[in-house]
Amino acid sequence: MVLSPQEQLDRPTLQALQRERLGWTVRHAYDHVPFYRGLLDGAGVDPLAETLPEDLASLPFTRKGDLRDQYPFGLFAVPRSDVLRVHASSGTRGKPTVVGYTRGDLEVWAECCARSLALAGAQPGDLLHNAYGYGLFTGGLGLHQGAERLGLTVVPASGGATQRQVQLLADFQADGIACTPSYLLNIADAIDASGLPRSAFRLRYAVLGAEPWTESMRRQIEQRLGVDAIDIYGLSEVIGPGVGCECREEKDGLHLMEDHFLVEVVDPETGEVLEDGTVGELVFTSLTKEAFPILRYRSGDLASIDRRPCSCGRTTARMSRIKGRTDDMLIIRGVNVFPSEIEAVLLRQPDIAPHYEVVIYRARNLDVLEVRAELTTEFVQRHRVDSEFARLLASRAAEAIRGEIGVAVEVQLMAPHSVPRSEGKARRVQDLRNA
C-alpha cells in the first residue's frame, strides 16, 4: 500500500497547514481576481486579517453562475501565459465553465490522482486502462497524470470503440480500469458478448466516478467483473478527479485530500454550516491552487462528512457517496425524489439489468414518472419480454420503488440493449414536463 504522509497527519498539524494555506489563498484571490476582490469587499472581509478555517463561514459563497459570468478566463489569478492547461466542464446550459492550471497546479492534481489510485489498490508497476474521455473533460488527462505519478503504465484508451477496449483489456492484461460506472457496465456487456472467459482478464480494481451511482450498482459490477469497484469524486471547478476517493480496505466514504481542499457541508436552502454526519451541499475552498483559486464553492452535490479516522490508516475526513444534487431533485406531484433512490431500488430487483432511464412527462395535467429498464439476457432466454412473468416483475419493481420514494411510478421493462448506452457520463433523467 502506498500511503503518503499528508494523509496521516494528526488533526492539529493538518489544521495548522490548512490555516496557513487558507490565508495565502484568500490574499491571492483578493489581489489577483477582481471578482473575488469585489466579493470580499462586499462582504466586509479583510483579506489581510488571518482567516481561520473556523471562520470560513464569514466568507461569501461562489456559485456556478459566477463562473459562467467570468467566461472564459475572468477568474484566473495568474497571467494567461502562466496557465499551462485549461479544461472545461460540459455544462448542460449556456457557456461551459473554464478552469486553468499552472505547472504547480498540475503537480498538485497529479498528486491527488496518484493518491486516489493508490487508495483504490493500484501499485507501481500496474497497468491502468484509462477509459475516461480525454479532452476538455478532466477525467482522462487527470487520471492519466496521476497514474504516471504513481508509476503505472497507462493505456490512454479514452471512451468509445467498446469492443476494441475489451480486446486491449485482455491483450495488455490491465490490472485496473478507470471510467464512469455506466461505461464499465457497457464494457461488461461487451466482454460477455466477446465470449472471452473471465480468466482472460486480470482486472483487480475499477476507479469509477464522474456520475452518481449506488451500492447496488457496485455489487453488480464487483460480481460481474471480480474487481474492487472504487468510488472517485471530483469536479473541474475544484480541480477535477481526485478531490476524494474511497479506500479499498473499507469502501466506506471517500477520503478527501484535505491538505489541498477545505470542505464544508451546508444547508442548501439557508447556507448554514451543518454538523458532521448531516447530509447537505458540499462547499469547497482550494488551499493551494494558483491559476484558479476558489472560495467556498457551492458544488450542488449532496453528501455528509465523517472525520473519524479510518482503519486504512488515513486520518483525512471522508465524505459519503454523493446522495444526489441540489438541482437533480425531481419534484413529482409535490414530492421530492432523487434519481439515486430509484436506482437503488431498481437494481435490487433480480432479472432487471442495470441499464435504465427515468422519464417524466405530463399527461392530463398530472406528472407521470416512468422508469424504463432492461430485462437481463438470462431472463429473456427463459421468458418473453411481453410475458406474464415480465409484467409481474414490472409491477413488483414499481411497488418497491413507490414504497421507497412515496410516488407512484410506471415501470417499463424492455429487451436487453434497448436503453441507450453511455461512453462517458450517463444521462439517465429526461424531464419532458416543460418540453
Kindly state whether residue 257 participates in binding ligand DLL, applying the rule CB under 6 A.
no
Kindly state whether residue 252 participates in binding ligand DLL, applying the rule CB under 6 A.
no
Exactly one of 241, 253, 268, 354 binds ligand DLL (CB under 6 A); that residue is 241
Q: Which amino acid is at 344?
A: A
Q: Which stretch binds ligand DLL (CB under 6 A): 7-15, 206-214, 260-268, 404-412?
A: 206-214
Kindly state whether residue 424 participates in binding ligand DLL, applying the rule CB under 6 A.
no
The total number of residues shown for the chain amounts to 435
Q: Which stretch binds ligand DLL (CB under 6 A): 135-143, 155-163, 288-296, 355-363?
A: 135-143
What is the spatial distance between Cα 236 and Cα 85, in angstroms, rounded to a whole number? Answer: 12
Strands 261-266 and 254-256: unpaired
What is the spatial distance between Cα 286 and Cα 125, in angstroms, rounded to a whole number? Answer: 31
In the block, cell 492534481 appears at 109
DSSP sequence for 339-391: HHHHHHHHTTSTTEEEEEEEEEEEETTEEEEEEEEEEPHHHHHHS-TTSHHHH
Kindly state whether residue 325 participates in binding ligand DLL, applying the rule CB under 6 A.
yes
Counting Cβ atoms within 10 Å, is residue 216 exposed (0-12), middle (13-18) or buried (19+)? middle
Exactly one of 146, 240, 268, 339 binds ligand DLL (CB under 6 A); that residue is 240
Exactly one of 105, 175, 189, 231 binds ligand DLL (CB under 6 A); that residue is 231
Total residues contacting ligand DLL by CB under 6 A comes to: 22
Strand-by-strand arrangement of the 318-319 sheet: 153-155, 127-130, 176-179, 205-209, 228-235, 240-246, 254-256, 318-319, 305-306
Q: Which is nearer to ligand DLL, 120 or 375 (CB)?
A: 120
Q: Which stretch binds ligand DLL (CB under 6 A): 191-199, 204-212, 286-294, 353-361?
A: 204-212
Q: Which amino acid is at 16?
A: A
Q: Which is nearer to ligand DLL, 144 or 394 (CB)?
A: 144
What is the spatial distance between Cα 282 and Cα 404, in angstroms, rounded to a whole number? Answer: 25
Shortest Å, Cβ 104 to ligand DLL: 20
Shortest Å, Cβ 233 to ligand DLL: 4
Residue 434 cell numbers, joined: 416543460
Shortest Å, Cβ 379 to ligand DLL: 29
The interface with ligand DLL within residues 59-118 (CB under 6 A) comprises 89-90
Which residues form the interface with ligand DLL (CB under 6 A)? Answer: 89-90, 132, 137-139, 209-212, 231-236, 240-241, 299, 301, 322, 325
